[in-house]
Amino acid sequence: MGERVRTIDRSTIHDLMERERGTFRERHRRSGELAEAAKASLLYGVPMNWMVRWPGDWPVFVDRAEGARFTDVDGNTYVDLCLGDTGGMAGHAPKAAVDAIAEQAAKGITLMLPTEDAAWVGAEMTRRFGLPFWQFCLTATDANRFVIRWARELTGRPKIVVHNWNYHGSVDETFARLDADGMVRAREGLVGPPVPLDVTTKVVEINDLTGLEAALETGDVACALFEPALTNIGIVLPDPGYHERVRELCSKYGTLLMIDETHTICAGPGGCTQAWGLQPDIVTIGKTLGAGIPSAAYGMSDDVANRIVAHTDFQHIDVGGTGGTLAGNALSFAAMRATLGKVLTDDAFEQMIVLGERFERGVTDVIASRDLPWHATRLGCRVEYLFRPDAAHDGAEAAAGQDEELDPLMHLYLLNRGILITPFHNMALMSPATTAEDVDRHTEVFAQAVDELVGG
Ligand SMILES: Cc1ncc(COP(=O)(O)O)c(C=O)c1O
């Protein structure tokens, strides 16, 4: 059956894609008009360049969103499993956060002065991630940029090491991947790198401890910036014992271990750091902390905090390359306090993870019953399906499992039936507002898509 799928797939995919594009055009006329009008003032016709990646002939314009659902300007409703690619993981417009945001907005949005909420949020981050000291910024990209800078400053070393097929935001040093000869190259599409990537960056596969030791033993690596599991090329989980050994190697060679929990907070309230008992020197996180109000953070160990303070030039702290005028603003803190305190709570995660399991089961059953050479992988309340038989063991394997024709067809097929997953790979995320019915609706439509693809 697997062979049959592969041989008939391509023409079936093309035919289905044409049909689905027609359906999309018919059901999204108002979005089409707005998209056409937007071309007069917006580069590419969208406010942010990634939005050209959505399936369909133009982006769907949103009217309103609440909980795990949204309605577009044509009146179509959707179960949102993309959730703003994690920015909306708290669910859309969660009441507790909306109330706190409205209240704070009426009292002042940004002053470059702290409010009472700041220390509450800092203490909550410590409870979740175990690191004693925190700083705040607006995006996970910012957080990663700032901690890389500090790592170079503290260690006096020039390079960083990242996983192959990582994504950590628009951070110059991280856009590197390994080519077929194991050499460091810029990622495809990288715009205007300041220096060739191999000047700043080493790249190792997740789960390649020999490669990691070889990268570190030369003594020129300031920090390892890793997601605990890859989440931006499908999900690639670490081998048992991988992180313990990563910690040992970083300590042995004096490299700071930085764990980016921006997506992997899906593993639980304190991300993989809490769930798996990781011992990073630094944690970074953004996206979901403030229910979508720009909010991000980096936390550090006592040792790192002491070293940073010792290296701080207080007279020039405002031009040292970390921080920002809007960072740590009052509105973000009100949003984070309400989101962490009342929305993305420990109890909410329990329920979200149960739904993640249900989603994984549903997809896995469909794949198995149709004898397809595909699989689903889950990390907490985040699930991905990938068009290869087994879970990928590293980034290169996961990259080879992407399908440039099948991915967009699946995205569009689901969208036309009221389900949104990410426009990059095939990710579904559960929010506190997601229901079992939402999950089952996806399973049903996924099965329908598969049956059309295999002619079942
Ligand atoms: C793991 C990880 N870190 C950082 C980022 C950057 O987030 P932002 O674009 O909000 O700065 C992303 C974005 O997808 C991410 O997946």
Q: State pLDDT tens for residues 374-420.
A: 999 999 999 999 988 999 999 999 999 888 999 999 999 999 999 99
Are 261 and 272 within 8 A, CB to CB? yes
Q: CA 165, CA 234: separation in Å to the nearest integer?
A: 10
- Å from CA of 305 to ligand 1 middle: 24
Using the structure block, give the residue that is written with the tokens 């070889």. Answer: 214
294 lines ligand 1 (CB under 6 A): no
Residue 443's pLDDT is what?
A: 98
Cβ atoms within 10 Å of 233's Cβ, excluding its own: 27
| Mean predicted confidence (pLDDT) in 257-278 | 98
- Å from CA of 302 to ligand 1 middle: 25
Say whether pLDDT at 6 is over 50.
no
Q: What is the rounded end-to-end Cα distance, in angstroms, of the chain?
A: 11
Confidence of residue 175 (pLDDT cuts 50, 70, 90): very high
The token pair at 52 is 């050209």
Residue nearest to atom 11 of ligand 1 (CA): 141
Candidates 377, 379, 347; CA nearest to 364 is 377
- Å from CA of 81 to ligand 1 middle: 17
Residue nearest to atom 3 of ligand 1 (CA): 168
| Mean predicted confidence (pLDDT) in 68-82 | 98
Residue 3's pLDDT is what?
A: 47
Residue 8's pLDDT is what?
A: 42
Say whether pLDDT at 7 is over 50.
no
Confidence of residue 2 (pLDDT cuts 50, 70, 90): very low
Using the structure block, give the residue that is written with the tokens 């898509």. Answer: 449
| Mean predicted confidence (pLDDT) in 35-54 | 96
Question: For ligand 1, what atom is nearest to the CA of residue 286?
Answer: 10
Residue nearest to atom 6 of ligand 1 (CA): 169
Residue nearest to atom 15 of ligand 1 (CA): 168
237 lines ligand 1 (CB under 6 A): no
Question: For ligand 1, what atom is nearest to the CA of residue 169?
Answer: 6
Q: How does the average pLDDT of the chain come out, rounded?
A: 96
Q: CA 130, CA 312: separation in Å to the nearest integer?
A: 24
CA diameter of the chain: 70
Confidence of residue 146 (pLDDT cuts 50, 70, 90): very high
* Geometric angle at alpha carbon 131, from 172 and 381, rounded to 5°: 75
168 lines ligand 1 (CB under 6 A): yes
The residues near 198 (Cβ < 8 Å, ≥ 6 apart) are: 176, 183, 184, 185
Long-range contacts of 396-402 (CB under 8 A, 24+ apart): 396/164, 396/165, 396/178, 396/205, 397/236, 398/165, 398/230, 398/233, 398/234, 398/235, 398/236, 399/165, 399/233, 401/234, 402/233, 402/234
Q: Which of 86, 165, 168, 231 to mutate to test the pocket of ligand 1 (most atoms within 8 A of CB)?
A: 168
422 lines ligand 1 (CB under 6 A): no
Are 394 and 209 within 8 A, CB to CB? no
Confidence of residue 301 (pLDDT cuts 50, 70, 90): very high
Residue 401's pLDDT is what?
A: 86
442 lines ligand 1 (CB under 6 A): no
92 lines ligand 1 (CB under 6 A): no
Pairing of strands 296-300, 133-137: antiparallel
Are 229 and 236 within 8 A, CB to CB? yes
- Å from CA of 5 to ligand 1 middle: 34
Q: CA 170, CA 280: separation in Å to the nearest integer?
A: 22
* Geometric angle at alpha carbon 394, from 389 and 400, rounded to 5°: 55
| Mean predicted confidence (pLDDT) in 168-194 | 97
Q: Count CA atoms within 13 Å of residue 53 on its CB side.
A: 11
Residue 1's pLDDT is what?
A: 41
- Å from CA of 273 to ligand 1 middle: 17
Q: CA 58, CA 36: separation in Å to the nearest integer?
A: 9
169 lines ligand 1 (CB under 6 A): yes
262 lines ligand 1 (CB under 6 A): yes
Residue 424's pLDDT is what?
A: 87
Residue nearest to atom 5 of ligand 1 (CA): 169
pTM: 0.97
Are 101 and 331 within 8 A, CB to CB? yes
The token pair at 124 is 């909550």
Residue 322's pLDDT is what?
A: 97
Question: For ligand 1, what atom is nearest to the CA of residue 232?
Answer: 16
Q: What phi and psi values does residue 198 have, to the nearest 5 degrees?
A: -75, -10
Q: CA 264, CA 235: separation in Å to the nearest integer?
A: 10
- Å from CA of 34 to ligand 1 middle: 28
| Mean predicted confidence (pLDDT) in 208-214 | 98
Q: Which helix (H) or strand (E) holds 273?
A: helix 271-275
The token pair at 297 is 């953070």
Say whether pLDDT at 106 is over 50.
yes
Say whether pLDDT at 342 is over 80.
yes
Residue 456's pLDDT is what?
A: 62
Q: Which helix (H) or strand (E) holds 66?
A: strand 62-66
Which CA distances in Å does 350 have to 240, 246, 275, 347, 442?
Answer: 23, 28, 12, 5, 21
- Å from CA of 300 to ligand 1 middle: 19
> Which residues on neighbouring strands pair with residue 375, listed in sequence order?
386
**Residue 287 identity (one-letter amino acid):** K
> Which residues on neighbouring strands pair with residue 376, listed in sequence order?
385
The residues near 372 (Cβ < 8 Å, ≥ 6 apart) are: 1, 2, 5, 450, 454
| Mean predicted confidence (pLDDT) in 26-51 | 97
- Å from CA of 345 to ligand 1 middle: 22
Handedness of CA 374, 233, 206, 384 (dihedral sign): negative
Question: For ligand 1, what atom is nearest to the CA of residue 142?
Answer: 11
Question: For ligand 1, what atom is nearest to the CA of residue 141?
Answer: 11
Residue nearest to atom 13 of ligand 1 (CA): 169
Q: Which of 171, 263, 284 to mutate to test the pocket of ligand 1 (most atoms within 8 A of CB)?
A: 263
Residue 9's pLDDT is what?
A: 67
| Mean predicted confidence (pLDDT) in 244-259 | 99
- Å from CA of 111 to ligand 1 middle: 26
141 lines ligand 1 (CB under 6 A): yes
